[in-house]
Amino acid sequence: MKIIKGGICAVEGVLAAGSCENDYGVAVIVCEKSTASAVFTSNKVVAAPVIITKEAVKDGKLSAIVANSGNANCFTGNKGLENGRSMAYKVAYKLKLNVKDVAVSSTGVIGRELPMNIINNLIDNTVDNLENSIQASANAAKAIMTTDTFSKEFAIETKLKNGKKIRIGGICKGSGMIAPNMGTMLAFITTDINATSQELENALKKAVNSTFNMVVVDGDESTNDTVVIMANGKSNTSIDENFQEALEYVCSKLAKMLAKDGEGATKYMEVEVKGTSTNKDAQNAAKAVVSSSLVKTALFGADLNWGRIVAAVGYSGIEMDEKIISISLKSKKHSVKIVELGVVNAFEGTQELLDAENIMKEKDIKIIINIGLGNCKATAYGCDLSYDYIKINAEYTT
* CA–CA distance, 31 with 9 (Å, rounded to integer): 10
Collapsed DSSP state (helix, strand, coil) of residue 225: coil
- CA distances to 70, 85, 100 from 21, rounded to whole Å, are 10, 21, 28
Shortest CA distance to 300 belongs to which of 352, 362, 353? Answer: 362
Shortest CA distance to 371 belongs to which of 312, 296, 299? Answer: 312
Q: Report the DSSP beta bridge partners of residue 327.
A: 339, 369
DSSP string, 226-277: EEEEEE--TT--B--HHHHHHHHHHHHHHHHHHHHT-TT---EEEEEEEEES
* CA–CA distance, 116 with 76 (Å, rounded to integer): 13
Shortest CA distance to 241 belongs to which of 298, 189, 202, 185? Answer: 202
Shortest CA distance to 152 belongs to which of 114, 125, 185? Answer: 185
Quick check: is 297 catalytic? no
Contact 31, 14 (CB under 8 A): yes
Collapsed DSSP state (helix, strand, coil) of residue 82: helix
Pick the catalytic residue from 158, 184, 276, 379.
184
| Dihedral angle, C-alpha 58, 142, 213, 189, nearest 10 ° | 40
* CA–CA distance, 34 with 122 (Å, rounded to integer): 25
Collapsed DSSP state (helix, strand, coil) of residue 376: strand
Question: Any residues with CB less than 8 A from the CB of 392 and at least 6 apart, and which?
Answer: 147, 176, 263, 264
For 352-364, letters b (16+ CB in 10 Å) and e give bbebbebbbebee
* Residues belonging to the active site: 184
